[in-house]
Amino acid sequence: MKNYKLTLLIAILIGLNLAAKATTLDSLGLKKENNKTFLLFKVGPKQSLFSILKRYNLSLTEFKSANSDVEIPVKTGEILYIPLHYLEESNPAPKVVEEKVAEAPKEAEIHIVAPKQGLLSVANMHKVTMAELRKWNNLTSDRLQEGQRLIVSDPSGTKSAIAVDKASLLPAKTTAAATAPAAAPVAEAPAKEKGPEDIKKKIETGIAELIDVPDNSGKFLALHRTAPIGTLVLVKNLTNNQSIWVKVIGRLPGGDSKVIIKLSPKAFEKLNAVDKRVRAEISYLLQ
């Protein structure tokens, strides 16, 4: 049981570490308009429209359609409408994938992520799509970590079996006994990851409420007042002890101070609640 809890903690730490290195999003909550649901986003200092479109995987045409009154370039403090369809990203759990081919095609190419390098720039560099990179590397987010190893060619065309798991997608750690692979690019040593002693657990008790808007994403999502965007939160229904993990995507709007979190329809359904509000306990980790 202790090994299981330690493994779960390490997995959560990895997610928090990636989220902490990304730029904090100033999200103001959700807004429903003309039978569509949008995430309200406040433009931060020195933040460009290109970076916002890249962050939410939006085209300029989609942005103009949702923000017809907004002038380009966008200004600091301006409120933008982000369509909720940006949440429709693949989110499979990392797993071992083995592919064996009888013939001998080319070796799989590996790319080591440079400082401040994003998934889009890697895809353009190797002339592949972002969707292919997500599929080949079992990525749960478009945010990359310096030193991270990425497969940038189709694994189904490799000469031998390829195993992909969480450990292979993290920055390689240098050891005295390790030998340098032939023709492998050299990357700078990644920053030291924070240990369990640097992590604090926060627990809150109050009301969990349903986000009563149409949502076809099928994701376990949440709005919270202070938890950083991307934080994983454990929500427990105190009436039946049913629990669910959710991901924070925006800020909880002002109103009832007793409401500590709002959940997407799919997540709220998992709590087996009999009403749109339920007494709950939430917990998450902070660095």
CB 136 within 8 A of CB 79: no
pLDDT > 90 in the chain, percent? 16
| pLDDT tens digits along 12-38 | 655 555 444 433 445 677 888 877 888
b/e burial code for range 5-18 (CB count within 10 A of at least 16 → b): eeeeeeebbebbeb
Q: What is the pTM of this model?
A: 0.38
Coil, strand or helix: which one is 20?
Answer: helix
Tokens standing for 129? Answer: 């799509």
Which residue numbers in the chain have pLDDT < 50?
Answer: 18-25, 88-105, 158-169, 172-180
Fold of domain 2-87: Membrane-bound Lytic Murein Transglycosylase D; Chain A (3.10.350)
CB 159 within 8 A of CB 107: yes
pLDDT computed for residue 103 by the predictor? 43
Q: Indicate the DSSP class of residue 46.
A: T
Architecture of the domain spanning 110-164: Roll (3.10)
Tokens standing for 270? Answer: 């998992």
Fold of domain 196-286: Barwin-like endoglucanases (2.40.40)
Q: What angle do CA 88, 255, 231 make, to 5 degrees?
A: 40
Same fold, 2-87 and 110-164: yes
Kindly list the domain boundaries of the chain, sorted by start residue. Answer: 2-87, 110-164, 196-286
b/e burial code for range 251-280 (CB count within 10 A of at least 16 → b): bbeeeeeebbbbbbbbbbebbebeeeebeb
